[in-house]
Amino acid sequence: MPHLVFHEPRIPGNTGSAIRLAAVTGARLHLVEPLGFDLSEPKLKRAGLDYHDLAVMDIHRDFDALVGLYPASRVFAFTTRATVNFTDITYEPTDLLVFGPEPTGLDDTVLNHERITSEVRIPMLPGLRSLNLTNSASIALYETWRQNGYRAGV
């Protein structure tokens, strides 16, 4: 499975849901600091239910530290500013799918980073701001899994 990256997440419930998403798909979840909450936050634990021990999750001090661990991986930045549709990409198991913090999305520091392979978007009706963070991550992650034949899925 490609890697799921939450860059500077702010809402513990979304990250808890992402932990559950990582557990049920086999994706590795990466959180890039700073986090907007403490990992012992009750909302994080409640949203992740009893999946915390089943998910693989890493925390990185910054974006450079993360991408430095995966020098051969492609890095896709999900943003409403992009013109490339996320379904137009043929995903590989080593890809990094990067999502920004809930209130703002990815900032220019990440979007202009030399490791960004492409900016991609999930279509939605015009005039609306964005989807929920973990809903977006779920849509993207399941597309990558579908393209790879739902390996190991039942």
- Decide if 82 contacts 120 (C-beta within 8 A): yes
Round to whole Å and give the CA distance between 112 and 85: 19
* Cβ neighbours, 10 Å, residue 61: 10
Query: Helix, strand, coil shares of the chain as percentages rounded to 5?
Result: 35, 20, 45
Domain covering 3-147 in this structure, CATH number: 3.40.1280.10
CB environment 85-98: b (16+ within 10 A), e (fewer): ebeebebeeebbbb
pLDDT of residue 46: 58
Q: Average pLDDT for residues 107-127, to the nearest whole number?
A: 96
The answer, as to whether pTM is greater than 0.85, is yes
Round to whole Å and give the CA distance between 96 and 99: 10
Q: Is the peptide bond before 2 cis (omega within 30 degrees of 0)?
A: no
Domain ranges of the chain: 3-147
Instruction: Output the CA–CA distances (angstroms, integers) from residue 116 to 17, 41, 126, 143, in the order listed.
Output: 25, 31, 25, 19
Share the mean pLDDT of the chain.
91
Closest to 1 in 3D by CA, of 102, 93, 137:
93
For residue 63, pLDDT beyond 90: yes
Q: Average pLDDT for residues 42-61, to the nearest whole number?
A: 74
